[in-house]
Amino acid sequence: MLKISDLDEWRTYANQLRSSGATVALVPTMGALHEGHVALVRAAKDRGDVVMLSVFVNPLQFDDSGDLERYPRTPEHDLAVALASGVDCLVEPSLGAMWPRYPAPTSTTVSVGPLGALFEGAQRPGHFDAVATVVTKLFALTGPSRAYFGEKDYQQLAVVRQVVRDLALDVEVVGCAVVRDDDGLALSSRNRRLSGEGRSRALALSRALTRARDATGPASTRRALLRETLEESDVEVGYVDVVDPVTLLPCDDGASGVARALVAGVVEGVRLLDNAPLTVGGR
Ligand code: AMP
């Protein structure tokens, strides 16, 4: 496995791969790798792609400096996981290389409009513009045929799809299902910060999604169930909603068909996200 941090080397390597006829896949991550990340790598390997996995904790997408400081950084573990999962090239750019003007962003940034102001974006202003900017830069450096993202960050996936569509970027965005622990908790690098008791409370997120999925009735009934389930476990509710799976606009009670339930909450100061498909307006 090759390891690169220099941006010129990164671009040259990806160019060489493309000229040799390889299909280059990019798996962007912030490290502290777990089975959710590995699933993205596997999906790429299954399609025969050469996999470049990037690890970059992008400070510009954090609105809370405490969250940024506490974000786990595990370079040796990441190296071992990348190697074991068949990553072809691990890319770890430095902060200075990515954002020479940090803490200011680059003069040019990507702005994602109203989609970026919903849900996570409402609670973390500027978050999705920063995500879109870094992802666009990662795409520009790599020139991947495909890029793999998890449905775990459902709104992020929708934002990336929108960027690719709006800017006519030549990359196929592949979304991969949420990977969970046996108890249902969606894997996340932030789960490391939960105590045993916090982890039990955090299970309310996946339980809420299962309850809302298994219930019948309109979106408002499902929304109420989501909220109630989080509150029962003393999870500080960030938001709950039942939305159109593409536009992410809230479903009204006349809606029927496949929707997406989104939940976000805070346990022990750790922000947790989860989501799942469900059918509204009868079953
Ligand atoms: P992160 O390192 O948290 O920024 O995540 C990097 C990529 O891995 C993103 O596309 C995430 O959506 C994806 N990812 C993180 N956790 C999971 C999970 N539990 N299941 C599926 N994909 C995930």
State the closest ligand 1 atom to the C-alpha of 31, by its place in the atom list counted from 1.
2
Going by CA atoms, what residue is nearest to atom 13 of ligand 1?
150
Cβ of 30 closer than 6 Å to ligand 1, yes or no, is: yes
- Model confidence at 283: pLDDT above 90: no
- Which residue is catalytic, options 34, 37, 77, 127? 37
pLDDT tens, position by position, 113-146: 999 999 999 999 999 999 999 999 999 999 999 9
pLDDT tens, position by position, 56-96: 999 999 999 999 999 999 999 999 999 999 999 999 999 99
Full-model pTM: 0.97
Distance 280 CA to ligand 1 centre (A): 27
Cβ of 186 closer than 6 Å to ligand 1, yes or no, is: yes
Distance 37 CA to ligand 1 centre (A): 6
Kindly report the average pLDDT of the chain as a whole number.
Answer: 97
Going by CA atoms, what residue is nearest to atom 17 of ligand 1?
36
Domains, the chain, in order of start with CATH, read 2-176 (3.40.50.620), 189-278 (3.30.1300.10)
Report DSSP letters for the chain, one per residue: -EEE--HHHHHHHHHHHHHTT--EEEEEE-SS--HHHHHHHHHHHHTTPEEEEEE---GGG-S-HHHHHHS---HHHHHHHHHHTT-SEEE---HHHH-TTTTS--SS----GGGGGSTHHHHSTTHHHHHHHHHHHHHHHH--SEEEEEGGGHHHHHHHHHHHHHTT-S-EEEEEPPPB-TTSPBP-GGGGG--HHHHHHHHHHHHHHHHHHHS-S-HHHHHHHHHHHHHHTT-EEEEEEEE-TTT-PBP-TT--EEEEEEEEEEETTEEEEEEEEEEES--
Going by CA atoms, what residue is nearest to atom 10 of ligand 1?
149
Cβ of 60 closer than 6 Å to ligand 1, yes or no, is: no
pLDDT tens, position by position, 238-258: 999 999 999 999 999 999 999
Cβ of 185 closer than 6 Å to ligand 1, yes or no, is: no
Percent of the chain at pLDDT exceeding 90? 99
pLDDT tens, position by position, 142-191: 999 999 999 999 999 999 999 999 999 999 999 999 999 999 999 999 99
Distance 66 CA to ligand 1 centre (A): 21
Residue 220's pLDDT is: 97
Cβ of 128 closer than 6 Å to ligand 1, yes or no, is: no
Cβ of 179 closer than 6 Å to ligand 1, yes or no, is: yes
Residue 281's pLDDT band, with cuts at 50, 70 and 90, is confident
Distance 219 CA to ligand 1 centre (A): 27
Distance 215 CA to ligand 1 centre (A): 28
Cβ of 37 closer than 6 Å to ligand 1, yes or no, is: yes
Cβ of 152 closer than 6 Å to ligand 1, yes or no, is: yes
Residue 28's pLDDT is: 99
Distance 254 CA to ligand 1 centre (A): 33
